[in-house]
Amino acid sequence: MDSASIYYLGVTLLLFLAFAAIVARTYSRKHKAKGEEPKFRMMDDDKPKKEDNSEK
């Protein structure tokens, strides 16, 4: 193996480890609530809030 092949292998492994870290963090139980929050916020926008326009 020449140095270019070793460099290519190293870069490939580094990118794979970065991808694996992103996947692990995304699907971890610790960050699940934070990841689900935008979905519920988006669904809340579909239901208009009832505003009380009556004068008191």
Three-class HEC string of the chain: CCHHHHHHHHHHHHHHHHHHHHHHHHCCCCCHHHHHHHHHHHHHHHCCCCCCCCCC
pTM summary value? 0.56
Query: 20 pLDDT band (50/70/90 cuts)?
Result: very high
Instruction: Provide mean pLDDT across the span 12-39.
Output: 85
